[in-house]
């Protein structure tokens, strides 16, 4: 064997294979300076060149890899099979200009832009990072989506809690793949809200019908629809496939009412009067919600339920007639502080809340009595599943004291419950709800002792106040006419 053949076939490969043994270290910076012992230069394109299986596994292949040089001299060599042209830099999956930053595999982000923390999104000047997208000026990021910055204080945020998973599942079905949606407040007209619920198919007897047919279990007996009836987008404003209606546990529906009422309470503290036509945002991490929930057994899907909407709407009158005027109802229970409700009406989470969930109630007059067993309370309020408050707030009670809340309903109302606030996490209450079914006489709702600020609205039930005002006006006119008739 000649000397040059010995170098080419034995010595060079051994040096390349064991560089430290032979007292030399070969770096990528100088690989192109070595002449190829095989009589040819193996080029590497800017997009890289792979080896054949034989070249990977043989000593000859190793020699080829260590003696490669870039197709365009002067550029950086990234690894054994990739290099870049002059003015470029090595990045995962390819080459980027020196004027750019390396983003995710196969992506470059110009340095004048902002490379977002996820390493994928590259936002141009004037835009801010928001998950996998970029928000323009005047918008802010909310759960990976852009919303109007002026609505940042009008966001109803739902986080996954122990007692709201079925609620969030139904709402996410209505959101149809989104995490946020901007809705329009319908206003305080309870008659209009009732008509909206009927149009959506959320009616008296709805859940009882599904339970009777085995489509949902007996504890899923409170009706919830999305978009909510308190929004102009609710009811028949959308096609059935674009909205969601289902039966959920009564406590979860009341939890929703606390969230909507809490948003309005915070707005009042900021001096904002929430009115018809105002925008607000519903925010849920639906990717997490739908990914973490196992479909419950024996439940009806939103689509299946919507197909039955016509039948159930027709049965609304039947369900109402079965509840005869004068029929008495009663329920009771006991509650402790619910950690899921911390900060419901206060962002700093300074206060805790106890929730007594009454479920879906028929028209009638009701009285809820709260007995404080341990601890103390600083007030309570009765709300429906959309945050409308039916009582004025009281001053609270100590252990051994009781508090009574009276209210009336002109319409079948889902998700009714009472929230009781406390600063003592050991507080415990017993409660009793009693009621008489039937259209109530016009009157204002009340609680004792003295009224205070309410969480969800500034007046008791508007319908009752409006009817009282109308009756008083008719009486005044009648007296005036009578007075004129007796004048000489």
- Looking at the structure, do residues 163 and 287 belong to the same domain, yes or no? yes
- Looking at the structure, do residues 92 and 131 belong to the same domain, yes or no? no
- Looking at the structure, do residues 44 and 125 belong to the same domain, yes or no? no
- Looking at the structure, do residues 23 and 126 belong to the same domain, yes or no? no
pLDDT of residue 93: 85
Q: Is 50 helix (H, G, I), strand (E, B) or coil?
A: coil
Q: What is the CATH number of the domain that holds 390?
A: 2.60.120.380
Q: Does residue 143 sit within a domain?
A: no
Q: Does residue 146 sit within a domain?
A: no
Q: Does residue 56 sit within a domain?
A: yes
| Domain end marker among 321, 345, 375 | 321
Chain-centroid distance of CA 173 in Å reads 11
pLDDT of residue 79: 83
- Looking at the structure, do residues 132 and 172 belong to the same domain, yes or no? no
Terminal CA-CA length for the chain: 147
DSSP 231: B
Total number of domains constituting the chain: 4
Q: Does residue 477 sit within a domain?
A: no
- Looking at the structure, do residues 355 and 370 belong to the same domain, yes or no? yes
What the block records as the tokens of 426 is 């050991």
Q: Which domain holds residue 79?
A: 1-98
- Looking at the structure, do residues 234 and 253 belong to the same domain, yes or no? yes
- Looking at the structure, do residues 201 and 313 belong to the same domain, yes or no? yes
Using an 8 Å Cβ cutoff, are 412 and 194 in contact?
A: yes
CA–CA gap between residue 19 and residue 25 (Å, rounded): 5
Q: Does residue 358 sit within a domain?
A: yes
pLDDT of residue 53: 42
What the block records as the tokens of 254 is 């009341």
CA–CA gap between residue 461 and residue 189 (Å, rounded): 9
- Looking at the structure, do residues 89 and 43 belong to the same domain, yes or no? yes
Q: Does residue 6 sit within a domain?
A: yes
CA–CA gap between residue 254 and residue 353 (Å, rounded): 12
| Domain end marker among 279, 298, 321 | 321
Using an 8 Å Cβ cutoff, are 370 and 380 in contact?
A: yes
Alpha helices in 216-329 (DSSP H): 250-269, 286-292, 302-307, 309-314, 316-322
| Domain end marker among 274, 295, 321 | 321
- pLDDT tens sequence for the chain (488 residues): 554 444 344 433 433 333 333 332 222 222 222 222 222 222 233 333 333 344 444 555 555 555 566 777 788 888 888 889 999 999 988 899 999 999 988 889 999 999 999 999 999 999 999 999 999 999 999 999 999 999 999 999 999 988 899 999 999 999 998 999 999 999 999 999 999 999 999 999 999 999 999 999 999 999 999 999 999 999 999 999 999 999 999 999 999 999 999 898 888 888 998 999 999 999 999 989 987 654 443 444 444 444 333 333 333 333 333 456 689 999 999 999 998 888 777 655 678 999 999 999 999 999 999 999 999 999 899 999 999 999 987 889 999 999 999 999 999 999 999 999 998 999 999 999 999 999 886 544 443 333 334 454 433 333 333 333 333 434 334 434 444 433 33
The residue whose two tokens read 């001096």 is 271
- Looking at the structure, do residues 264 and 251 belong to the same domain, yes or no? yes
Of 31, 26, 25, nearest in space to 44 by CA: 31
Q: Does residue 481 sit within a domain?
A: no
- Looking at the structure, do residues 165 and 192 belong to the same domain, yes or no? yes
CB-count burial class (<10 Å; 0-12, 13-18, 19+) for 182: middle
Cis amide bond preceding 449, omega within 30:
yes
pLDDT of residue 412: 97
Q: Per residue in 291-327, is it b (16+ CB within 10 Å) or e — as a string? A: eeeeeeeebbebeebbebbeebbebbeebeeebeeee
- Looking at the structure, do residues 45 and 84 belong to the same domain, yes or no? yes
Q: Does residue 482 sit within a domain?
A: no
């Amino acid at each position: 064997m000649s000397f040059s053949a010995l170098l080419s076939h034995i010595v060079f490969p051994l040096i390349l294979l064991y560089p430290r043994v032979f007292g030399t270290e070969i770096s990528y910076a100088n690989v192109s300076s070595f002449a190829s012992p095989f009589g040819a230069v193996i080029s590497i394109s800017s997009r890289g060149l792979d080896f054949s299986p034989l070249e990977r596994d043989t000593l000859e292949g190793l020699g080829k890899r260590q003696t490669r040089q870039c197709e365009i001299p002067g550029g950086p060599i990234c690894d054994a099979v990739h290099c870049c042209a002059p003015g470029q830099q090595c990045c995962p999956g390819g080459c980027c200009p020196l004027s750019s930053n390396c983003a995710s595999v196969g992506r470059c982000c110009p340095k004048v832009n902002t490379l977002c923390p996820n390493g994928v999104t590259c936002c141009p000047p004037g835009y801010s990072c928001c998950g996998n997208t970029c928000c323009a000026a005047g918008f802010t990021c909310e759960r990976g989506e852009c919303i109007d910055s002026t609505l940042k204080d009008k966001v109803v945020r739902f986080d996954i809690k122990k007692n709201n998973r079925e609620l969030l599942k139904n709402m996410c079905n209505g959101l149809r793949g989104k995490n946020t949606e901007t809705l329009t407040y319908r206003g305080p007209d309870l008659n209009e809200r009732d008509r909206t619920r009927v149009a959506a198919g959320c009616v008296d007897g709805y859940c009882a019908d599904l339970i009777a047919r085995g489509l949902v279990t007996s504890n899923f007996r409170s009706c919830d629809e999305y978009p909510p009836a308190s929004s102009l987008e609710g009811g028949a404003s959308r096609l059935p496939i674009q909205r969601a209606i289902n039966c959920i546990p009564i406590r979860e529906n009341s939890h929703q009412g606390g969230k909507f009422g809490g948003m309005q309470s915070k707005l009042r503290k900021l001096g904002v009067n929430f009115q018809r036509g105002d925008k607000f945002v519903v925010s849920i991490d639906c990717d997490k919600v739908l990914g973490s929930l196992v479909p419950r057994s024996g439940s009806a899907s939103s689509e299946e339920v919507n197909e039955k909407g016509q039948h159930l709407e027709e049965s609304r009158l039947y369900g109402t007639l079965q509840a005869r005027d004068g029929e008495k109802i009663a329920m009771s229970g006991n509650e402790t502080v619910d950690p899921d409700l911390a900060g419901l009406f206060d962002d700093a989470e300074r206060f805790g809340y106890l929730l007594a969930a009454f479920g879906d109630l028929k028209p009638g007059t009701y009285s809820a009595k709260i007995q404080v067993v341990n601890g103390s309370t600083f007030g309570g309020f009765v709300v429906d599943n959309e945050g409308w408050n039916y009582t004025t707030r009281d001053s609270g009670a100590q252990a051994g004291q009781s508090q009574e809340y009276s209210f009336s309903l002109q319409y079948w109302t889902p998700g009714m419950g009472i929230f009781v606030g406390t600063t003592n996490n050991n507080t415990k209450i017993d409660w009793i709800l009693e009621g008489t079914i039937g259209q109530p006489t016009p009157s204002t709702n009340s609680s004792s002792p003295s009224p205070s600020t309410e969480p969800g609205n500034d007046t008791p039930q508007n319908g009752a106040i409006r009817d009282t005002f109308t009756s008083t006006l008719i009486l005044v006119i009648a007296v005036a006419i009578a007075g004129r008739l007796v004048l000489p």
